[in-house]
Each structure stands twice: as C-alpha cells, then as structure tokens.
C-alpha cells in the first residue's frame, strides 16, 4: 500500500460518494462508464428484446470487457495519482492497463466496424463495398494489436517513439474507415427517402446517428494521432485514446436499444405498404424475405 492510499485516496472516494456522477478524482472514470455505457446495458436487458443467442452473447461480452477495461483504467489512475503521488519518476514507466486499453480498443473497433460493414451490405447489397470495408477493418485491427503488444513489451514512455509508424498507421486507418462508414450509410439512407413522413423521419435519424457515431470516433482518433505525433514524451495521447473503446461500445448499444423507438415511429397504419423482398418486423436488422414491409424501401439495416 502506498503512502497516500488512505489519505488522498480516501478523500477522492469521499468526494465521489457525495455525488457519484461528478467528475472529481476517480469518479471521472467511474461516472462516465457506469452512468453512461452501463446504463445502456441495463436498458437493453430490461427491454426484453427477442434477439438471437449470438447477439445476446455479444452484449454480454461488451459488458464484461468494458467493465474489466474500466477497472484497469481506474487501477492505473490510482497507481499513478495516489500510490505514487510523491514519485513523479514513475510516469516514465508504462503500466500494463495502458497497453491493455489499446488492445481493447482494437477489439471493440473491429466489432463495430464489421457490424457497420454488415449493415451496409444488408442495405445496399454491394458485396465489394462491404467486403472492402471489412478488409480495411481487419488491417486496422492487426495494426492496433501490433501497436498494443509492442507498447506492452517496451513498457517505457521514452521508447514509444520506436512504434510511431505502426501507431500512426492504425489511427489513420481507424479514422478513414469510420468516416467512410458514416458517409456511406448517410448517403444510402438519404437516397432511400420516400413520400412517407414517418419513414423519412426514421431515415433522417439513422443518417444523423451514422454521422455522429463516425465523427466522434474519428475526432478522438485524430486527437490521439496528433498527440502521439507531436507530444510522444507525454500521456496526452491517452486523453483521446482511452475513451475510444467506450465510444465504439456506445455506438453499438445505442443502435440496439434504439430499435423500439424507431419501430414505434413506423407503427402508423398509414405507412404500411407492400414491398417484396424485405420485412420490417425482425429482431436486430431486417432480413430478406418474401413478405411485406411496414415502409417503402425501408432498409434491411434499420434497427427497431
């Protein structure tokens, strides 16, 4: 136990107990994770969606992985800011949660990008386009894993300059594919506009969501890239890099828990028309079928 664990550490815990959602001390991390991302998991399980087992398994994995990652980041913050409060030289040593977070970000990014690529295929039926995006996502994943492992092995801040090329390649690819996915989905939804007000309202919301999710991850990836490029001797890159995994998780969970609201927007009988090859009443993303749908040209990738 460090010299300040029961003094400064206890004080930070006390401040957080007064307001669990405040951004003071360690609760900057716990408040963001538990009140933000964890609320989405609670909403999902309490909504009782009739999803297939594999999708529920993905949600369970996201919950466990995000909880574990949040715990490791809190431990790292405590180690640097409380236990070693009077030992500033410890900053030169990279604690394992830093590399573990980079590893987790690569995994969560791959899951989200493959998921979004599948949505693009389900909506556009363009195999080359969606396959190309999936390929770029895999390459991005490989560079991310490589950077995380090398960071883990080096374990010293001053040595990270050696892995700059692979880190910058990973962040650049991550930014490019997120922007590309957002742009493709936004254009696809925009071109599917109909004369049905409720249907167009849903498409507008899907388009806005695609732009917002892609722009947030791209902004944080660029922030990490520039910080690592121009300030490699500091942990400034962690300011932008650590939350990226949470953003990917929030993007996927927001898609899942938002289905009920979008479905209710299409429940008006005036919007029900016949349209072969698609059906709106599916669990996660509409699948091809020979029945009728509840909206003209309603995308197979529509969550509900």
What are the residue boundaries of the structural domains of the chain, listed by start? 1-92, 93-242
Q: Give pLDDT, residue 184.
A: 92
CA distance 110 to 21: 30
Contact criterion met (CB below 8 Å) for 150 and 169:
no
Alpha carbon of 110 to those of 134, 204, 248: distances in Å? Answer: 9, 26, 9
Q: Residues 226-236: what's their mean pLDDT?
A: 86
Alpha-carbon gap, residue 58 to 274, rounded angstroms: 33
Whole-number pLDDT of residue 128: 94
pLDDT above 90 covers what percent of the chain?
Answer: 25
pLDDT greater at residue 10 or residue 37 = 37
Q: Among candidates 254, 277, 278, which has minimal Cα distance to 266?
A: 278
Q: Two tokens at 100?
A: 């573990």
Predicted confidence (pLDDT) per residue in 237-271, tens digit: 888 888 898 889 888 888 888 777 777 776 654 44
As a whole number, the mean pLDDT across the chain is 77
Alpha-carbon distance of 168 to 226, in angstroms, equals 9
Winning range, highest mean pLDDT, from 21-25, 37-41, 98-102, 132-136: 132-136
Query: Is the overall model pTM greater than 0.95, yes or no?
Result: no
pLDDT at 80: 85
Whole-number Cα distances in Å, 205 to 27, 69, 134, 153, 181: 32, 31, 24, 44, 16
pLDDT range class, residue 1, cuts 50, 70, 90: low
Condensed to tens digits (0 to 9), the pLDDT of residues 196-220 reads 777 777 888 888 888 878 888 899 9
Whether residue 31 is predicted with pLDDT greater than 60 in this model: the reply is no
So what's the pLDDT on residue 13?
56
Question: What is the pLDDT, as a whole number, of residue 277?
Answer: 36
pLDDT at 274: 33
Element (H, E) at 195: none
| Structure confidence by residue, pLDDT tens digits, 55-99 | 889 999 999 998 888 888 888 888 888 888 888 888 888 889 889
Third-level CATH fold of 93-242 = 1.20.120
Whether 284 contacts 55, CB under 8 Å:
yes
What average pLDDT score do residues 159-179 get?
92
pLDDT at 268: 55
């Amino acid at each position: 136990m460090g010299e300040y664990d029961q003094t400064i550490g206890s004080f930070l815990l006390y401040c957080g107990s007064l307001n669990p959602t405040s951004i003071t001390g360690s609760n900057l991390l716990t408040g963001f994770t538990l009140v933000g991302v964890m609320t989405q998991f609670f909403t999902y399980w309490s909504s009782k969606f009739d999803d297939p087992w594999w999708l529920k398994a993905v949600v369970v994995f996201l919950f466990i992985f995000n909880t574990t990652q949040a715990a490791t980041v809190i431990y790292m913050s405590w180690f640097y800011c409380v236990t070693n409060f009077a030992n500033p030289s410890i900053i030169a040593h990279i604690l394992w949660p830093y590399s573990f977070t980079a590893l987790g970000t690569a995994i969560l990014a791959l899951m989200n990008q493959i998921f979004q690529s599948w949505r693009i295929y389900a909506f556009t039926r363009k195999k080359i386009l969606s396959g190309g995006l999936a390929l770029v996502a895999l390459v991005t994943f490989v560079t991310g894993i490589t950077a995380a492992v090398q960071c883990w092995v080096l374990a010293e801040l001053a040595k990270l300059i050696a892995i700059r090329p692979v880190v910058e390649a990973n962040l650049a690819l991550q930014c490019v594919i997120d922007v590309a996915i957002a742009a493709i989905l936004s254009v696809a939804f925009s071109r599917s506009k109909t004369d049905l007000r409720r249907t167009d309202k849903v498409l507008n919301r899907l388009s806005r969501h695609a732009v917002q999710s892609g722009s947030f991850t791209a902004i944080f990836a660029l922030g990490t890239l520039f910080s690592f490029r121009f300030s490699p001797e500091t942990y400034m890159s962690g300011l932008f890099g650590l939350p990226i995994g949470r953003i990917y998780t929030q993007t996927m969970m927001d898609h899942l828990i938002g289905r009920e609201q979008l479905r209710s927007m299409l429940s008006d009988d005036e919007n029900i028309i016949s349209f072969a090859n698609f059906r709106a009443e599916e669990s996660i993303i509409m699948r091809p079928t020979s029945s009728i749908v509840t909206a003209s040209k309603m995308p197979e990738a529509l969550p509900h």
